[in-house]
Amino acid sequence: MSNLNDYATLLDDAAREVREVGQFDPTGRLSLADAYEIQSLSIKRRVGRGERRVGVKMGFTSRAKMVQMGLSDVIWGRLTDGMQIEDGASTSFARFVHPRVEPEIAFVLKRPLEGNVTGPQALAAVEAIAPALEIIDSRYKEFKFSLPEVIADNASSSGFVVGAWQSPTIDFSNLGLTLNIDGRVVQVGSTAALLGHPLRSLVAAARLSALAGEPLQAGWIVMAGGATPAEWIKPGQYVSLDMERMGTTGFHVQE
């Protein structure tokens, strides 16, 4: 296979048919530009099936995630409405190959945000913030990939859940959080894990998506990245996030 569209089709089919694929670039020779082009082509396939773009997800914005996955560049992916799970709802385990969950914070924008912006400029574009969970489900066997491979695979994005929106006037620079499975705390962390302040993740999202020619839009959601290592999830579990001052969000994993 050589054509970028072939890789996009391979990954999109794997996601749709819920199966793993082998790594096609384990040593990371593909350029990052080509990797993002594969991602873009695979999202075009989703949009062609009727899904709608609703925002951006950031990846490897915390040291915990970089260490867990062995990669240290900030990456981003594209979110569609087909990935969103309602707060407190159930999602079928059958949708996933080998899902993991991670605690995040989400932004929703009230106006477009584009290019090289400062923290205060980014904050001024934020309508609201919320505790959020991301379900990542790499399409690669054993959840192993090189940097271009994970970028091509839309940064492993598979699902996301956003809790009740809160005012962005809350100081969200360093909020304690716990990730819980069936009421048991499995990870403890803080929003400060995200580049020192989650707003920096939004600043990076504004820059990177504008560079790709798809600037952040009013109404879009930006997921700031996992604040702790991700945890495997299993059928029958209830997964939740408690965030200081921000409340809680969760979802059921249906058998």
Residue 59 lies near ligand OOG (rule: CB under 6 A): yes
User: Given phi > 0 = left and psi -120 to 50 = alpha, else beta, which region is 134?
Assistant: beta
217 close to 108: Cβ distance less than 8 angstroms: no
Judged by CB under 6 A, the residue of 60, 76, 160, 220 near ligand OOG is 60
Question: Could you give the CA distance from residue 73 to residue 169 in angstroms, rounded to a whole number?
Answer: 30
Q: Which is nearer to Mg ion, 4 or 178 (CB)?
A: 178
Which residue, 67, 56, 144, 152, is CA-closest to 104? 56
Q: Which is nearer to Mg ion, 134 or 242 (CB)?
A: 134
Question: Could you give the CA distance from residue 115 to residue 112 in angstroms, rounded to a whole number?
Answer: 10
Q: Which residue has the tokens 């009421």?
A: 183
Residue 65 lies near ligand OOG (rule: CB under 6 A): yes
Phi/psi at 69 (5° precision): -100, -5
Q: Which listed range, 10-18, 48-56, 59-67, 169-177, lies at the site for ligand OOG (CB under 6 A)?
A: 59-67
Over the Cα atoms of the chain, what is R_g?
17
DSSP state of 2: -
Question: Could you give the CA distance from residue 160 to residue 250 in angstroms, rounded to a whole number?
Answer: 10
65 interface partner picked from Mg ion, ligand OOG, none, CB below 5 to 8 A per type: ligand OOG
Residue 162 lies near ligand OOG (rule: CB under 6 A): no
Judged by CB under 6 A, the residue of 42, 156, 201, 228 near ligand OOG is 156
List interacting residues with Mg ion (CB under 5 A): 134, 226
Q: How far is the CB of 157 from Mg ion (least distance, A)?
A: 7
Q: How far is the CB of 27 from Mg ion (least distance, A)?
A: 24
Q: Where in 213-242 is the site for ligand OOG (CB under 6 A)?
A: 225-226
| Interface ranges with ligand OOG (CB under 6 A) | 59-61, 65, 69, 102, 134, 136, 138, 150, 155-156, 225-226
